[in-house]
Amino acid sequence: MRKAVIFDLDGTLIDSAPDIAHALNRLLEERGLEAYDLPTVTSFVGHGAPRLLEQAWAGRGQRAREAHEAKTDLQRFEALYAEEPTQRTRLYPGAREALTALRAAGYDLGICTNKPEALTHQALKRLGIDGLFKAVVGGDTLPERKPSPEPLALCARHLGAEPASTAYVGDSEVDAATAEAAGAPFLLHTEGYRKGPIRSRTLRAEFSDFARLPELVDRLTREGEARHKA
C-alpha cells in the first residue's frame, strides 16, 4: 500500500483568515461597502472564493451578481489577495515539524483545498513548505470543488494512492463531507475554521496539537495494513 497523507490548507495547516479578510475588505472598500470583522470573514471560509464573495455581498444587502459581475469580482479579489497572500498568515504551531516527520517516515504528501491552485502554490512557497508536497489540487483544478469527492480522488491518484487508504486531514464540515464522499479516513484539526460539531462516518480522530499527527497517521496505516492482510 502506498503511504500517503492529503491535507486541506486554510484552517488546517495555515491560519490564513487574516489575509483573506484583508483582501476582501479592500474589495469592499473599492465597492463602497462596509468592511467585515475577522470572525465574520472566517465564517465565510471553506467553500472557495466564489462562495465567499456571494456571502460577503449578501451580508451587505447586495443583489445577486450577474455572471460577468461575479467573474470580475472574483478576479479582483484574487489579484488583491495575491499582493499579500502570507503577510498575516501563519503556519499552525507544530505543522511544519509534523509534515517533515511524515516525509521522513516515508509518506507522500498532497494538498486538496478550495483555494485557487495558483494562490495555493504561492502560499506554500512563501511559507517555505512547497517542497514537502508531491501533489496540489486547488479549487479551480477541476470543475468540481469540495465537498465533491473528485478533487480528493484526483490528489490521491497523483500520489499513486487510493482514497480509502489515504488519510485526509482537515478542519471543517466541508472537509469531513469530502472525506466521507471519497471514502477516505478523516483526521480533524480542531483549531481551524469549523462552524460546529463534526459528524462523519469516516472521522477517525481529532487533534489540536500537531505533535500528535504522525502517530495518528501511523496508527491508521497499521490498521489499514492489517485489514489488507486479512
Scored b (16 or more CB within 10 A) or e, 205-228 reads bebeebeebbebbbebbeebeeee
**How far is 220 from 230, CA to CA, in rounded Å?**
15
Q: Of the given ranges (59-63, 159-163, 189-193, 205-209), which has the lowest mean pLDDT?
A: 59-63
Whether the pLDDT of residue 110 is over 80: the answer is yes
- What are the residue boundaries of the structural domains of the chain, listed by start? 4-15+89-229, 17-83
In CATH, which of 3.40.718.10, 3.40.50.1000, 3.40.710.10, 3.40.980.10 is domain 4-15+89-229? Answer: 3.40.50.1000
- Percentage of the chain beyond pLDDT 70 is 98
Q: Are 141 and 112 in contact (CB under 8 A)?
A: no
Determine whether 146 is exposed, middle or buried from the number of CB atoms within 10 Å of its CB (0-12, 13-18, 19+). Answer: buried
* 4-15+89-229 shares its CATH topology with 17-83: no
CB 96 within 8 A of CB 129: yes
Percent of residues, the chain, with pLDDT higher than 90: 87
- Local structure of 100: helix, strand or coil: helix
Identify whether the C-beta of residue 113 lies closer than 8 Å to the C-beta of residue 138.
Answer: yes
Close Cβ partners of 226 (under 8 Å, ≥ 6 residues apart): none
Instruction: Render pLDDT for 65-92 as a digit per residue (tens, 0 to 9).
Output: 889 999 999 999 999 999 999 999 999 9
Q: Between 46 and 189, name the one with better pLDDT.
A: 189
User: Strand, helix or coil at 4?
Assistant: strand
- Amino acid 228: pLDDT: 67
Quick: pLDDT tens for 12-33: 999 999 999 999 999 999 999 9
Does residue 15 carry a catalytic annotation?
no
pTM of this prediction exceeds 0.75:
yes
Q: CATH classification of 17-83 is 1.20.1260.10, yes or no?
A: no
| Averaged pLDDT of the chain | 94
